[in-house]
């Protein structure tokens, strides 16, 4: 099937009659969880659904998302990935059917208040009881109130819906409903320009009516197809038979089938039961297959399917190609496609797809070398021992087939690599070198990459990557397999420190249509950013990396964990880092990959260091030190953070690095680690002072925060005054490090630390909370403060101005607060007011101590709003920003929690007791608008989940804040309708309509739709 028809309804090649009685039943799909259309082939199920979608587009009652099922939708990864794409999810599909269903249901829920129907055509192709069938069953159970499912299927449906039908939550249109009624037969006859009498014997069957109308008045009942086909030339019948055999075509496939350029529009013009997509894919109804079954012999059908599969295979559409080859029983082609898909270590389709293919193989193909290869690739992630046995058997039978040998050897190399079996690796590489010598095109590049991975020195890595076979493959840009692109990027990045080239190669791997390598490639792309100090870009990429991480992926790619954990810790998100580490620690323990313990240890050590537990980190790292005193090459190849951690915490490893320094961006990490050791062990700031400013962002992106603070201290002590910005960027973590250094470091460093501590205000011991949403209120350690300063209007105004303006000048403040005074008088008033405000915020501060919350830098004032000073309006905005981020990530449940937390923080307008401040009005309006829109959004999510009580409360609060919010009025009306309170719904609607009349604006479509629901049906 064309991907174009996968996600959009097909376009009919002929005008269709409108059938209001059926469209009315389908239009009400947005009022119930499930609508099903169940009838045999030829009853117009797809046509009806397509019409319903088109009619809804003209006058929307909700949104439709289309998915046409295909044969391999019995596989969970295929059906669920299709459903994910249909509802706009880009996350990987979970292995568990229920989790996948919950993800789709949440995506539907996130569209609230809009109602969304997921329309699944040809559901009979999903096998009952299969993982995909379980997914459908769970999806029905998990649907939110604004989510709806429409299923079209030949009987029987692959899931039980009798309980839903009995409770009125499902409607089923069956064969009797879809048959033409007398008036519809007449309308159809008129649309086709034939007399109604011609269709008197079609029995209401739409397909037969279409065929009879096309065949004409000379068709004899029972011989309609024969009459129709006799009107076509032999060449045209042959062409149609070929198209039917392959399930449809576009111009490229049609040209391949017919051996010439062909215009499909002309070929299919005037024929019944033909549909097309907007992108040029044409498909003939399944009834054509029976009519044309004798126009091709079995050999011609098989050849047509092989030809179409070749085109699809060239596009990377491996599932579709394999489906055609399996139908054709073209076992030689099947075996060749298996080799292509499994060519290089990791298969290009998900494991469950491999398993579904294997089940369709006859025993002799299953036991063939290619069948054994396929079985091995399916078993490899969880049963590497069994996979190795299967691969050995496949390899033994692969003599004379270099491509098959290449695939088997690659997979065996990966298993040896996972197991760190160097002797086995060398033997397999010799076999691959023999293949290369025999002229296999892919072998030289793969040998070079594996040699590079096994190389012990930088020069050996460079030599391997300079291999002509690899260079020629790389120059072609699109020829390299995604596994080879990833391995190449890995070597360039983590062995040569070439972050720029590593980024290019990682992006190439990500651009490949096969997604099986996307997680590890994204990890390398993120590390390429960090190795150039581009922490902000790494942070933007992090959510996508976290989305790629699943237990089955981490099992064979453990390096994802230290990457994600270290980035989270560097960003100060320690709680998330610890949670992630706890979640994947058992997975890493079960991993078949030899370096999984290194990955776990590096993640644990980095997390411990970020929390200040350096002794724990050192003990953790020492657990993986090899007995021979080696340089822990396995750890170094897992993550770039390994180098500084091992260098600083394990002194016995330093000499080897110092004697053979790492190249490229890794040299920056080495220099930073050496500088830190010199600071600690010798009190020398020379190395820290010699670090160029271009290296500072790299260290900030890759070192634990306490180490960055310690290095910044050394830089400042060495005269690098610009390093103060690093300390300011780190925030409270830097102060903790400085205090420790002031007490324990060598004299020069200790003196600098004390100087920095004097310049950097101490964090107040009491936690201060300011409520500025509503009347101003100050709490210190949870106790309300009744300070006289709070009663001063100018103090409240100054506080509000500092909250709303980032780093204003004194002149700007005085011009707003004392516009009628001259500069000198206004300046005096500002100084007095500042004193009052300082006393209010920090009453216990010493006279000579610099203020923490309210700081001055020349003419600029700055209100510091970190963890020691909690201000409800900032919490309110951060919480709403978090909710928006969670919405973008497709997590409406978490977003709803954030919305509700924000609603709890709202106590009224900003600084409601401050008057005479015109500069406050715009901000008050902005914040009030954010509250109203977030309360309505939360209310709509709650309504879709069935919590009408909380939804009503939020609607009423939103209307108290802004009674001109049509969205809030809509929510309240919808809540009353959901509760069956028609009287309250009518009153809420009248209130909304009165507001709109006063404003002179027309109602929104949703208001009109809600009003329509209040009109009695009769």
> 99-149 pLDDT, tens per residue?
999 999 999 999 999 999 999 999 999 999 999 999 999 999 999 999 999
Tell whether 373 is covered by a domain. Answer: yes
Task: Give the model's pLDDT for residue 567.
Answer: 96
Residue 355, both tokens: 């398993």
Q: For residue 794, what is the domain's CATH number?
A: 1.10.10.10
* 162 and 86 co-located in one domain: yes
| Mean of pLDDT values over 83-92 | 89
* 218 and 240 co-located in one domain: no
The three-state (H, E, C) secondary structure of 40-103, written as one string:
CCCCCHHHHHHHHHHHHHHCCCCEEEEEECCHHHHCHHHHHHHHHHHHCCCCCCCCCHHHHHHH
* 290 and 394 co-located in one domain: no
| Mean of pLDDT values over 441-458 | 86
* 14 and 152 co-located in one domain: yes
Band of pLDDT at residue 631, cut at 50, 70 and 90: low
Quick count: other Cβ atoms within 10 Å of Cβ 989? 22
> Given a cut of 90, is residue 618 above it in pLDDT?
yes
Tell whether 318 is covered by a domain. Answer: no
| Span of 309-318, 323-332, 416-425 with lowest mean pLDDT | 416-425
Task: Give the model's pLDDT for residue 660.
Answer: 86
Give CB contacts under 8 A, 24+ apart, made by 592-596.
Answer: 592/381, 592/384, 592/418, 592/419, 592/555, 592/556, 593/418, 593/555, 593/556, 593/557, 593/558, 594/418, 594/419, 594/420, 594/634, 595/420, 595/558, 595/559, 595/634, 595/635, 595/637, 595/638, 596/558
| Mean of pLDDT values over 30-51 | 92
- Quote the percentage of the chain above a pLDDT of 90: 52
> Given a cut of 90, is residue 283 above it in pLDDT?
no
Tell whether 645 is covered by a domain. Answer: no
Strand partners of residue 780: 768, 783
Task: Give the model's pLDDT for residue 951.
Answer: 95
Sort 434 into a burial class: Cβ within 10 Å, 0-12 / 13-18 / 19+: middle
Whole-number Å distance between alpha carbons of 365 and 524: 38
* 60 and 75 co-located in one domain: yes
* 128 and 158 co-located in one domain: yes
* Residue that wins the pLDDT comparison between 149 and 517: 149
Whole-number Å distance between alpha carbons of 176 and 173: 8
Residue 856's H or E segment, with its range, is: strand 854-857
* 55 and 164 co-located in one domain: yes
> Given a cut of 90, is residue 913 above it in pLDDT?
no
- Quote the percentage of the chain above a pLDDT of 70: 96
* 789 and 756 co-located in one domain: no
Last residue of a domain, one of 364, 387, 415: 415
Tell whether 524 is covered by a domain. Answer: no
Band of pLDDT at residue 848, cut at 50, 70 and 90: low
Task: Give the model's pLDDT for residue 344.
Answer: 80
| Mean of pLDDT values over 558-577 | 94
Last residue of a domain, one of 253, 286, 302: 302
Half-sphere exposure (Cβ direction) of 912: Cα atoms closer than 13 Å: 11
> Given a cut of 90, is residue 587 above it in pLDDT?
yes
Mean pLDDT, the chain, integer: 88
Residue 871's H or E segment, with its range, is: strand 869-871
Specify whether the CB–CB gap between 121 and 152 falls below 8 A. Answer: yes
Task: Give the model's pLDDT for residue 479.
Answer: 45
| Span of 441-450, 630-639, 775-784, 790-799 with lowest mean pLDDT | 630-639
Three-state SS for 966? Answer: helix
| Mean of pLDDT values over 885-895 | 84
Q: How far is CA 816 from the centre of its chain?
A: 47
Q: Which of 304, 377, 370 is nearest to 362 (CA)?
A: 370
* 806 and 823 co-located in one domain: yes
Band of pLDDT at residue 346, cut at 50, 70 and 90: confident
Task: Give the model's pLDDT for residue 475.
Answer: 40
Residue 373, both tokens: 């290869």
Task: Give the model's pLDDT for residue 4.
Answer: 58
Band of pLDDT at residue 315, cut at 50, 70 and 90: confident
* 808 and 933 co-located in one domain: no
* 862 and 932 co-located in one domain: no
Half-sphere exposure (Cβ direction) of 627: Cα atoms closer than 13 Å: 0
Query: Which phi and psi (to 5°) does residue 783 adopt?
Result: -105, 130
Band of pLDDT at residue 474, cut at 50, 70 and 90: very low
Sort 654 into a burial class: Cβ within 10 Å, 0-12 / 13-18 / 19+: middle
Between strands 63-68 and 147-153, the pairing is: unpaired
| Mean of pLDDT values over 552-564 | 92
Specify whether the CB–CB gap between 71 and 327 falls below 8 A. Answer: no
Tell whether 1004 is covered by a domain. Answer: yes
Residue whose pair of structure tokens reads 């323990």 in the numeric block: 589
Tell whether 665 is covered by a domain. Answer: no
Task: Give the model's pLDDT for residue 565.
Answer: 97
Band of pLDDT at residue 731, cut at 50, 70 and 90: low
Q: Quote the number of domains for the chain.
A: 7
Q: For residue 928, what is the domain's CATH number?
A: 1.25.40.10
Task: Give the model's pLDDT for residue 478.
Answer: 39
612 CB contacts (<8 Å, ≥6 apart)?
A: 706, 736
Whole-number Å distance between alpha carbons of 341 and 374: 9
Tell whether 195 is covered by a domain. Answer: yes
Tell whether 697 is covered by a domain. Answer: no
Enclosing domain of residue 756: 672-692+703-760
Last residue of a domain, one of 717, 744, 760: 760
Task: Give the model's pLDDT for residue 156.
Answer: 92
Task: Give the model's pLDDT for residue 477.
Answer: 41
* 118 and 211 co-located in one domain: no
């Amino acid at each position: 099937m064309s991907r174009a028809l996968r996600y959009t309804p097909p376009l009919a090649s002929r005008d269709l009659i409108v059938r209001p009685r059926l469209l009315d039943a389908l239009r009400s799909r947005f009022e119930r969880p499930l609508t099903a259309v169940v009838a045999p082939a030829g009853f117009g199920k797809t046509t009806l659904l397509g019409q319903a979608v088109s009619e809804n587009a003209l006058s929307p009652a909700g949104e439709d998302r289309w998915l046409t099922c295909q044969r391999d939708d019995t596989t969970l990864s295929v059906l669920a990935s299709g459903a994910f794409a249909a509802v706009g999810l880009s996350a990987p599909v979970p292995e568990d059917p229920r989790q996948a269903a919950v993800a789709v249901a949440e995506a539907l829920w996130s569209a609230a208040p809009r109602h969304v129907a997921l329309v699944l055509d040809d559901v009979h192709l999903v096998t009952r009881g299969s993982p995909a069938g379980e997914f459908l069953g769970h999806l029905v159970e998990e649907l939110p109130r604004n989510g709806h499912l429409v299923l079209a299927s030949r009987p029987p449906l692959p899931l039980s819906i009798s309980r839903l039908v009995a409770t009125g939550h499902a409607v089923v249109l069956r064969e009797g409903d879809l048959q033409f009624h007398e008036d519809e037969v007449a309308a159809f006859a008129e649309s086709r320009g034939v007399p109604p009498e011609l269709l008197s014997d079609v029995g209401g069957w739409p397909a037969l009516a279409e065929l009879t109308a096309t065949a004409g008045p000379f068709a004899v009942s029972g011989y309609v197809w024969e009459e129709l086909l006799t009107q076509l030339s032999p060449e045209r019948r042959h062409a149609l038979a070929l198209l039917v055999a392959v399930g449809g075509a576009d111009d490229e496939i049609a040209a391949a089938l017919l051996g010439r350029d062909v215009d499909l529009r002309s070929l299919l013009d005037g024929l019944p039961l033909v549909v097309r997509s907007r992108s040029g894919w044409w498909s003939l109804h399944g009834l054509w297959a029976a009519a044309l079954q004798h126009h091709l012999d079995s050999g011609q059908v098989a050849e047509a399917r092989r030809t179409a599969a070749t085109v699809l295979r060239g596009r990377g559409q491996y599932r579709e190609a394999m489906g055609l080859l399996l139908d054709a029983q073209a076992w030689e082609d099947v075996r060749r496609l298996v080799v292509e898909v499994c060519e290089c270590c990791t298969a290009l389709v998900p494991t469950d797809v491999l398993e579904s293919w294997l089940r369709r193989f006859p025993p002799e193909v299953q036991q063939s070398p290619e069948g054994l290869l396929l079985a091995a690739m399916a078993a490899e992630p969880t049963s590497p021992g069994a996979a190795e046995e299967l691969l050995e058997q496949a390899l033994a039978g692969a003599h004379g087939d270099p491509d098959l040998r290449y695939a088997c050897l690659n997979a065996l190399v990966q298993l040896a690599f996972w197991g760190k079996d160097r002797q086995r690796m060398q033997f397999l590489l010799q076999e691959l070198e023999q293949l290369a010598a025999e002229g296999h095109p892919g072998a030289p590049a793969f040998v070079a990459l594996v040699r590079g991975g096994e190389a012990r020195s930088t020069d050996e890595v460079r030599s391997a990557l300079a291999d002509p076979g690899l260079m020629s493959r790389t120059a072609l840009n699109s020829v390299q397999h995604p596994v080879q692109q990833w391995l190449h990027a890995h070597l360039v990045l983590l062995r040569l420190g070439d972050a720029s080239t590593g980024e290019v190669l990682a992006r190439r791997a990500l651009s490949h249509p096969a997604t099986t390598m996307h997680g590890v490639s994204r990890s390398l792309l993120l590390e390429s950013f960090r190795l150039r100090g581009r922490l902000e870009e790494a942070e933007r990429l992090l959510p996508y990396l976290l989305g790629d991480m699943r237990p089955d992926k981490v099992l064979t790619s453990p390096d994802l964990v230290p990457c994600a954990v270290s980035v989270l810790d560097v960003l100060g998100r320690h709680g998330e880092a610890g949670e992630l580490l706890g979640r994947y620690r058992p997975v890493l323990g079960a991993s078949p990959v030899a370096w999984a313990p290194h990955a776990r240890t590096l993640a644990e050590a980095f997390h411990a260091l970020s929390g200040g537990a350096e002794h724990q980190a050192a003990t953790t790292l020492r657990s993986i030190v090899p007995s021979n005193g080696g340089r822990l090459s396995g750890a170094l190849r897992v993550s770039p953070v390994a180098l500084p951690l091992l260098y600083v915490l394990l002194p016995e490893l330093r000499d080897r690095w110092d004697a053979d320094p790492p190249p490229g961006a890794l040299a920056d990490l080495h220099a930073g680690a050496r500088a830190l050791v010199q600071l600690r062990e010798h009190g020398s700031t020379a190395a820290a002072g010699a670090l160029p400013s271009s290296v500072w962002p790299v260290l900030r992106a890759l070192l634990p925060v306490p180490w960055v603070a310690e290095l910044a201290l050394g830089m400042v002590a060495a005269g690098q005054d610009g390093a103060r910005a690093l300390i300011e960027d780190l925030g409270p973590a830097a102060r903790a490090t400085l205090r420790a250094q002031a007490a324990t470091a060598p004299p020069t460093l200790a003196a600098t630390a004390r100087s920095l501590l004097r310049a950097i205000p101490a964090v107040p011991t009491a936690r201060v909370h300011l409520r500025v949403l509503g009347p101003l209120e100050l709490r210190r350690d949870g106790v309300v403060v009744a300070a006289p300063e709070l009663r001063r209007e100018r103090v409240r105004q100054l506080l509000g101005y500092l909250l709303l303006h980032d780093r204003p000048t004194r002149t700007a403040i005085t011009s707003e607060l004392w516009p009628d005074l001259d500069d000198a008088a206004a300046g005096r008033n500002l100084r007095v007011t500042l004193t009052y405000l300082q006393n209010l915020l920090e009453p216990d501060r010493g006279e000579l101590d610099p203020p923490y919350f309210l700081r001055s830098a020349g003419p600029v004032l700055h209100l510091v709003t970190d963890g020691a000073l909690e201000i409800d309006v900032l919490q309110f905005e951060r919480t709403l920003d978090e909710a928006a981020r969670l919405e973008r990530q497709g997590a409406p449940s978490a977003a709803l929690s954030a919305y509700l937390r924000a609603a709890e923080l709202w106590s009224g307008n900003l600084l409601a007791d401050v008057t005479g401040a015109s500069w406050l009005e715009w901000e008050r309006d902005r914040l009030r608008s954010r509250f109203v829109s977030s309360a309505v959004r939360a209310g709509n999510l709650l309504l879709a989940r069935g919590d009408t009580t909380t939804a009503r409360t939020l609607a009423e609060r939103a209307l108290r804040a802004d009674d001109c919010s049509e969205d809030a009025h809509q929510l309240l009306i919808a809540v009353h309708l959901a509760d069956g309170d028609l009287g309250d719904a009518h009153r809420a609607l009248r209130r909304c309509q009165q507001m709109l009349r006063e404003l002179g604006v027309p109602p929104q479509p949703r208001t009109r739709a809600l009003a329509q629901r209040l009109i009695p049906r009769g």
